[in-house]
């Protein structure tokens, strides 16, 4: 049996689902500024593959790293943690 490398997982909020079978997920985290010590919000966006188009904007989702599916898309949807209200 072949051993597979560990794949990165991220949790974020869906900011766009206007594409077919694709979503944009934003991951925000607090980082301490190296010089001033103030906490600042950093946002990173990922384009992820959503096979069934079941995500809506505002949903909290878990995505996993995968092989490149297009120019910008190398993540895929694992599951929806919480639906938007």
Instruction: Give the pLDDT of the chain (85 residues) as one tens digit per residue.
Output: 667 778 999 999 999 999 999 999 999 999 999 999 999 999 999 999 999 999 999 999 999 999 999 999 999 999 999 999 8
Structural domain including 74 reads: 9-82
Q: What is the pTM of this model?
A: 0.87
2 inside domain = no
The tally of domains found in the chain comes to 1
Distance, in Å, from the CA atom of 19 to the CA atom of 40, rounded to the nearest integer, reads: 30
Distance, in Å, from the CA atom of 2 to the CA atom of 54, rounded to the nearest integer, reads: 32
- Residue 5: the pLDDT is 79
4 inside domain = no
Q: Return the bridge partners of 46, or none.
A: 25
Distance, in Å, from the CA atom of 4 to the CA atom of 66, rounded to the nearest integer, reads: 12
Distance, in Å, from the CA atom of 47 to the CA atom of 26, rounded to the nearest integer, reads: 9
Give the CATH number for residue 48. Answer: 2.40.50.140
């Amino acid at each position: 049996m072949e051993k597979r490398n560990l794949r990165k997982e991220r949790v974020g909020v869906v900011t766009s689902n206007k594409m077919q079978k694709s979503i944009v997920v934003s991951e925000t985290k607090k980082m301490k500024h190296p010089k001033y010590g103030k906490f600042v919000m950093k946002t990173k966006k990922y384009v992820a593959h959503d096979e069934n188009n079941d995500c809506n904007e505002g949903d909290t989702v878990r995505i996993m790293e995968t092989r490149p599916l297009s120019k910008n898309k190398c993540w895929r949807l694992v599951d929806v943690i919480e639906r938007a209200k």
